[in-house]
Amino acid sequence: MTESQHESQAIVRMRKLNKHFGSLHVLKNIDLEVMPGEVVVIIGASGSGKSTLIRCINGLEEFQDGHIMVDGKDLLPHGKGAKALQRIRTEVGMVFQQFNLFPHLSVRDNVTLAPLKVRGVTAAQAGESAERLLDRVGIRDQADKYPSQLSGGQQQRVALARALAMEPRLMLFDEPTSALDPEMIGEVLDAMRELAREGMTMIIVTHEMGFAREVADRVIYVHKGEIAEEATPERIFDSPQDERTRGFLARVL
Ligand code: ADP
Ligand code: MG
């Protein structure tokens, strides 16, 4: 494969991305490419820029310099490319640390809302698809409840089903288990593992190193807004090359 063929197949391609919050240089010359079906895990200390990095991919953050292509559509500095952004948002699903469910809607209605509004499907189609997705994340029996009646782990699985209802080409996860009680982390990681197995393209920020080792095709270590090291999980966890990666792993493992 030539380099340009390889590039045109990437779902995400980030080139020399720079992002500032005022005088704070949060992302520094980030180059990142994600291929279809790849699972990329981003690790790094708190404040290193991980959230900002993935939020740039679906336009939740503007950047000052560089270029992002998502599924063939260009995002440009200073929020230029608004049309592309609308399309990107319908193709990129995101799950956050806080579940952000609509509290006044039932679980089922949380899942059907966006497809009904944006995809123009019928209520029957949306309802069937919601049942299927809730079944897939193991909470079909909770469809008529409201978010506040569910555990954190169940709420996060609703958030996952809701994102999947848009049939995304890419899923972004920002510390999806960090707000959960320990006994609920496993059920959310299981649902994500299953999604990875089915071939979903995923970019995941997590502190769950065991999970990262198991599901990642590639692990990226971000240090103070820079990609310090990028390699297979085996290589990152067993023989990190960069001193900064070694320091971080010594603190968290
Ligand atoms: P991480 O997700 O790795 O913990 P973030 O991407 O949230 O890091 O933050 C990176 C840096 O940018 C931190 O220093 C943080 O304080 C700063 N930051 C994040 N969001 C904002 C914002 N909206 N305004 C100003 N500074 C911000
Ligand atoms: Mg973060």
From the CB of residue 205, how many other CB atoms can be counted at a distance below 10 Å? 23
Buried b (16+ CB within 10 A) or exposed e, 28-63: bebebbbeeebbbbbbbbeebbbbbbbbbbbbbbeb
Atom of ligand 1 nearest to the CA of 44: 3
Report whether pLDDT(81) > 90.
no
Residue showing tokens 């080139």: 15
Atom of ligand 1 nearest to the CA of 49: 6
Percent of residues, the chain, with pLDDT higher than 90: 93
Query: Is any atom of ligand 1 closer than 6 Å to the C-beta of 27?
Result: no
Residue 90: pLDDT band with limits 50, 70, 90: very high
Strand partners, 171: 93, 202
Give the residue whose CA is nearest to atom 5 of ligand 1: 49
φ, ψ dihedrals at 240, nearest 5°: -60, 140
**ipTM at complex level:** 0.99
pLDDT the model gives residue 54: 98
CA distance 91 to 100: 19
**Which residue owns the Cα nearest ligand 1 atom 21?**
21
Beta bridge partners of 170: 92
Number of the ligand 1 atom closest to the C-alpha atom of 222: 3
Q: Best substitution site from 18, 24, 28 to test ligand 1's pocket, by max atoms within 8 Å of Cβ?
A: 24
Protein residues with C-beta less than 5 angstroms from the ion ligand 2 = 51
Ligand number nearest CA of 46 is 1
Which ligand has the nearest atom to the CA of 225? 1
Interatomic CA distance for residues 145 and 158, integer angstroms: 11
The answer on pLDDT for 4 being more than 90 is no
Cα–Cα dist 21/125, whole Å: 43
Give, rounded to a whole angstrom, the gap between the first and last alpha carbons of the chain: 38
**pLDDT tens sequence across 7-62:** 569 999 999 999 999 999 999 999 999 999 999 999 999 999 999 999 999 999 99
SS3 assignment, position 75: strand
Residues 72 and 125 sit within 8 Å (Cβ to Cβ):
no
Per-residue pLDDT at 193 exceeds 80: yes
HSE value, Cβ hemisphere, 13 Å, CA-based, for 101: 29
User: Is it the case that residue 165 has pLDDT exceeding 60?
Assistant: yes
Q: How many CB atoms lie within 10 A of CB 26?
A: 20
Q: Whose CA is nearest to atom 18 of ligand 1?
A: 21
> pLDDT tier at 92 (50, 70, 90 boundaries)?
very high
**pLDDT at residue 161 is higher than 60:** yes
- Residue 102: CB atoms within 10 A of its CB come to 12
Which residue in 70, 66, 102 sits closest to 172, CA to CA? Answer: 70
Mutate to test the pocket of ligand 1, among 25, 51, 248 (most ligand atoms within 8 A of CB): 51
**φ, ψ for residue 43 (rounded to 5)?**
-120, 160
The answer to whether residue 174 scores a pLDDT higher than 90 is yes
Q: Dump pLDDT digits (tens) for 109-148.
A: 999 999 999 999 999 999 999 999 999 999 999 999 999 9
